[in-house]
């Protein structure tokens, strides 16, 4: 994909962050969407958490082939099926890669993204090959992740948590930063503005639920869908900030916002 850039950094032994920047033309305005994918090392090969936009996937595949020449991509775990996180699902399925998602994502993925949104937020439809449920375990080489289904941002949003090391891969459960990520933060807020209020309230409940699960832990490393990884002790207000933004969206809801009735990012 022309204009696509990606870098790879080791976050922890067996976990790498792909910082992916992909061009997005919205109403003729050239923008850049910046999203994190995470590469996880397992005994059978590589797993990816999210696969990025459809058009950027050949770039991601080439990056993985260069960085891990002897390891095959075996599975993708989708934190959710918005275009920037799961848009390349069909490419993965066609490559023979297992695509795992929570069942709540079935209808959005098989519809090629939300309906009533600009074409830029849609992608070729696909059906995930495997379904993950709350509490399922994902064994990695150095650790083991537990699935936490966190509905709200989408019906089947998913977080993955390693209780032993305190690593939380949370997709868009926590809203991303403003600096360097204005496009995706704006899209996340627009998503909340467009959603039925009950879905935004469910997102707030998911925040509370995950926050409760982390209570008592001194050092949680958050690996977000957008923005640099951070330790929760360095941003103790991260959950409260996301909740505030969602509550603001609930207050500001208007029926005449752009983008029809769908959700974007």
Query: What 3-state class would DSSP assign to 35?
Result: strand
Q: How far is the CB of 141 from Zn ion (least distance, A)?
A: 27
Structure tokens at 75: 């599975």
Distance CA 94, CA 133 (A): 24
Q: Are 214 and 220 in contact, with CB atoms under 8 Å apart?
A: yes
Question: How many other C-beta atoms are found inside a 10 Å radius of the C-beta of residue 253?
Answer: 15
Stretch of residues binding Zn ion (CB under 5 A), selected from 54-62, 78-86, 99-107, 208-216:
78-86
Residue partners of 205: CB distance under 8 A and separation at least 6 = 152
Contact region with Zn ion (CB under 5 A), list: 62-70, 120-128, 171-179, 202-210? 171-179
Name the segment binding Zn ion (CB under 5 A); options: 20-28, 81-89, 111-119, 147-155: 81-89
What count of residues does the chain have? Answer: 265
Closest separation in Å from C-beta 151 to Zn ion: 16
172 binds Zn ion (CB under 5 A): yes
CB neighbour list of residue 45: distance below 8 Å, 6 or more residues apart: 71, 72, 73, 74
* Residues numbered 197-236 forming contacts with Zn ion, rule: CB under 5 A: 225
The residue count for binding Zn ion (CB under 5 A) is 4
105 near Zn ion, judged by CB under 5 A: no
CB atoms within 10 A of CB 103: 13
- Given the complex with Zn ion, which of 170 and 221 has the nearer CB atom? 170
Among 170, 183, 210, 265, binds Zn ion (CB under 5 A): 265
Q: Does 20 bind Zn ion (CB under 5 A)?
A: no
Contact region for Zn ion (CB under 5 A) — 77-85, 114-122, 203-211, 215-223?
Answer: 77-85
Contact residues toward Zn ion (CB under 5 A) are: 84, 172, 225, 265
């Amino acid at each position: 994909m022309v204009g696509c850039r990606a870098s790879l950094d080791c976050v922890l032994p067996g976990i790498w962050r792909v910082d992916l920047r992909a061009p997005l033309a919205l109403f003729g305005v050239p923008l850049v969407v910046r999203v994190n994918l995470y590469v996880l090392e397992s005994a059978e090969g590589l797993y990816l958490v999210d696969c990025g936009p459809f058009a950027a996937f050949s770039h991601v595949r080439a990056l993985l082939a260069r960085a891990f020449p002897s390891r095959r991509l075996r599975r993708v775990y989708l934190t959710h099926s918005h275009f920037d996180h799961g848009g390349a699902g069909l490419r993965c399925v066609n490559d023979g890669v297992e695509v795992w998602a929570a069942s709540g994502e079935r209808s959005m993925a098989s519809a090629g993204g939300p309906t009533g949104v600009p074409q830029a937020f849609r992608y070729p439809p696909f059906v995930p090959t495997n379904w993950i449920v709350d509490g399922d375990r994902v064994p990695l080489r150095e650790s083991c992740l537990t699935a936490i289904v966190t509905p709200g941002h989408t019906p089947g949003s998913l977080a993955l948590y390693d209780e032993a090391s305190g690593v939380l891969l949370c997709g868009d459960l926590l809203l991303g930063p403003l600096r360097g990520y204005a496009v995706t933060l704006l899209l996340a807020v627009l998503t909340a503005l467009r959603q039925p209020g009950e879905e935004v309230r469910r997102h707030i409940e998911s925040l509370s639920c995950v926050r409760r699960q982390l209570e008592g832990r001194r050092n949680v490393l958050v690996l977000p869908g957008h923005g640099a990884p951070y330790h929760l002790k360095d941003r103790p207000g991260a959950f409260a900030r996301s909740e505030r933004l969602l509550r603001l969206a609930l207050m500001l809801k208007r029926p005449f916002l752009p983008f029809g009735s769908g959700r974007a990012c």
